[in-house]
Every structure is written in C-alpha cells, then in structure tokens.
Structure 1
C-alpha cells in the first residue's frame, strides 16, 4: 500500500471511527448518568412522601391541596418508566461497548508510528497490517451489534431464521 492511500485511510476511516466511538461513548454515558440520578432522587423521595401522608402541623394538614397517595403512585410510576427505559435503551452497555472499541483502536496508531508489536516484523507491509488490524477491531464490534438480531424469534414461526454469514 502506498503512503498516500494509507494517509487517506487514516484520515477518512481511522480518525473518523475514533471520533465516532468517542462521541457515542460520551453520549451514552451522559444519558445513563442522567437517568440514574433521576432514579436515585425519585426512589429516595418516594418513602419520604409516603411517610408525610397524614402528617399534621397542629390542627392544620401540611398538604391540604395534595393527595399524597396520588403523588406516591405518580413518583413510583415515573421510577418504573425510567427503570424500563434504562433496560430498553441499554445506555450503560452501549457506553461500555463504544468505549471499549475506542480503547482498542487508540493504541494502534502508536504501535504503527513507533514500529512496535506486529509492526516491528521484518519485511512486513506495516500499512497493510495497520488497516487489517483496524478493520478486524471494527468488524468484531459490528458483528456483535445488535445482539437481539442474532436471537431467533421463537414466538413468530412465520419469520425465517437469520442466515449465517460464512
């Protein structure tokens, strides 16, 4: 592989993939942490709100305009919805998966530049080794995505099973 083609590959493929995985990881980490904080706060508030039911300050009810039971049920429902959303959208798993792929890609350019590891072998086309290793990392990530597609639908018998690629 000539140097111009290799430089174009690094610029158009490697760097763009690095940026993608870094941004996707950060986005999913942020969503996961936001969901978690809201869940923590609402989960902690639910028993406090429930305990306030019927609390009176002297002869005056503290919450005369709020039905505490409805508030507890509403907050509990929001907690259930957010918990289901976290499970459904897999923000934590995606964050870890994208970050893991990013971390696998990251050192390859250093191995190449410093001529170490598989790049140190004599009579080896270092550029081809780099491209092969990068594409293998990306292929591994892509074949694991999405895991739900590899599970055949056992309830709907009219759906053909997935075709394996050989």
Structure 2
C-alpha cells in the first residue's frame, strides 16, 4: 500500500524543478495515458469480438433451424454490442490515448537527449513544459469533443425560427 504522504502530486508544490516536473507531471501523464489506452483497447476488442461472434452465429443458427428465440437473442447481442461501441467510442479513445502517450514520450526523449527542437533551445525545460502542457490540454479538448452528445443541429435539421 502506498503511503499517501510519500505520493505527492505536482499540484502540492509551489514550484517545480526539472526532476519534479519530469517525475510528478510528465511521467504521471504518460503512465495515465498508457493505462487508459490499454483499458480502452481491451473494451473495444471485447465488444467488437462479441459483435463478430454473435453475428457469425445468427445465419448459421437460422440455416440449422435452431430455436428462433436463441437466434433472436444473438441478434439482440449484436445490436447491444455495436450500440455500446458507438456510445462509448472505445476505439477513438484508444487511438487518442495511445497517440498522446507516444507524443509525450517523444517529447521526453528529445528533451533528455537534447535533440529536435531542444537541440538549440536557450530554455529547453521551458520549451518542454510548454509543449507537453499543450499536448495535454489539446487532448482534454479532444476528449470533450469525442464524448459530448451530438445534439447540435446540422444544416439539414436546423429549426427555423
């Protein structure tokens, strides 16, 4: 069990030096995105496998004349699993979280090796913080866009006053 006094957040410090930022913020965010990516991937693969498996059995069961209730139930499972995928957008979130993991890791490696944009930078740590926080902020905006309800009217279904 982790002692809560030993596990401090970057928010608990008035100022962050390089080591604190790298460990308490950047590494934490990389781990969070990596974990969430794995979770979303597993959810996506489970529901997609459920769709494929159930869907494949429906025509087989109809051809074999197996109980119509069982066949109907498999059809319902297909609809439910595709609905879950549509509503929760596991695939989109999996890709988005994986992309952010890789981008933050790239920034960290380039900073640590002083390559890319950090090679000639006068303030490499400041550049790292700005670039990393921009990636994190953009992901938050993307997440909000992915998970919002699509209730905004489109050109074809706008109400006229």
| TM-score, normalised relative to structure 2 | 0.79
In the other structure, the counterpart of 1:143 is 141
CA-atom RMSD in angstroms = 2.1
Inter-partner Cα distance in structure 2 for 1:106 and 1:74: 45
Q: Which has the larger radius of gyration?
A: 1
- 1:32/1:150 Cα in 2 relative to 1: closer, same or farther (>3 Å)? closer
Inter-partner Cα distance in structure 2 for 1:118 and 1:81: 47
Deviates more, 1:88-97 or 1:138-147: 138-147
Structure-to-structure mapping, 1:16-165, within 5 angstroms: 16-53=28-65, 68-121=67-120, 124-147=122-145, 149=148, 153-154=152-153
How many residues are aligned here?
139
Residues 94-125 of structure 1 show CA distances to partners (whole Å, capped at 9, x for unaligned) of 00000011111111121112111221115x11
Q: Please state which structure has a larger fraction of its residues in helix.
A: 2
Deviation of 1:145 after TM superposition, in Å, equals 2.2
* Unpaired segments ≥5 residues, structure 1: 54-62, 158-166
Runs of 4+, deviation exceeding 2 Å: 148-155
